[in-house]
Chain A
Amino acid sequence: AQTVTQSQPEMSVQEAETVTLSCTYDTSESNYYLFWYKQPPSRQMILVIRQEAYKQQNATENRFSVNFQKAAKSFSLKISDSQLGDTAMYFCAFIDYGQNFVFGPGTRLSVLP
């Protein structure tokens, strides 16, 4: 079975600092997609960033970037210049074509002023 693990249930970071959230996954597939989703308190889940497994280049979206290590099955999210609005639950997710989305348990990130 495919699984996604997020080993940090909670993290905090000072405003303007950088934080890295960890994610590991387990699959026997070679082609798949990885995602980071953000769920602010009492607000909608939104996509932060997406990575295709066949691409060696790490995805970036403004202050958000990933460190994708395919051999290690690791997919960490780096948030630079953290802002108060980054406070949220962050979910790592995995899918290969035709299968269910599998979500990790989430990391609760608090950005402190």
Chain B
Amino acid sequence: KAGVTQTPRYLIKTRGQQVTLSCSPISGHRSVSWYQQTPGQGLQFLFEYFSETQRNKGNFPGRFSGRQFSNSRSEMNVSTLELGDSALYLCASSFSRGETQYFGPGTRLLVL
């Protein structure tokens, strides 16, 4: 089976812009979670989607949003980018909630 894929792999944006990141889970996986990874804060949970519904949300401002489509693909959107949003954004999929998560390669976002 193909692994979790994320596009794009790298992004450079400027403050105030918005960005959309995409994640395609492993075939058959219905749960998709998003994480932000930074050197200072480590891995922080953003949100989890299962069957097109957001099931859990981390402690991030409303500028961070996401959605999941009927084919389980997921997107996350960050509006009004700030310098502090520069990070590696990781997507992980699992067959169901509470099961082993498999990670994608991440999207590295740089905000200038």
Contact = CB atoms under 8 A, between A and B. Distances in A.
Interface of A: 33, 35, 37, 43-47, 50, 91, 95-106
B66 interface: no
A45 B42 contact: no
Contact of A97 (B58, B92, B97): B97
A47 B43 CA distance: 15
13 contacts: A33-B98, A37-B103, A43-B105, A44-B103, A44-B106, A45-B92, A46-B103, A47-B101, A50-B100, A98-B98, A103-B42, A103-B43, A106-B42
Interface of B: 3, 33, 35, 42-43, 45, 48, 55-56, 58, 90, 92, 97-106
Nearest to B4: A44
Chain A binding surface, main DSSP class: loop
A-B pairs with the 5 shortest C-beta distances? A97-B98, A45-B103, A103-B43, A100-B45, A105-B42
B45 A101 contact: yes
B103 A101 contact: no
Contacts, number: 47
Contacts of B102: 47
* Residue from B42, B43, B97, B98 whose CB has the most chain A CB atoms within 10 Å: B43
B47 to A, nearest CB: 9
Contacts of A100: 33, 45, 48, 56, 58
A95 B103 contact: no
Given A91-B43, A106-B42, A101 B101 contact: yes
Contact of A35 (B33, B100, B104, B105): B100
A48 B93 CA distance: 16
A96 B98 contact: yes
Contacts of B100: 33, 35, 47, 50
Contacts of A95: 98
Contact of A45 (B58, B90, B98, B99): B90
Contacts of A105: 42
Contacts of B33: 100-101
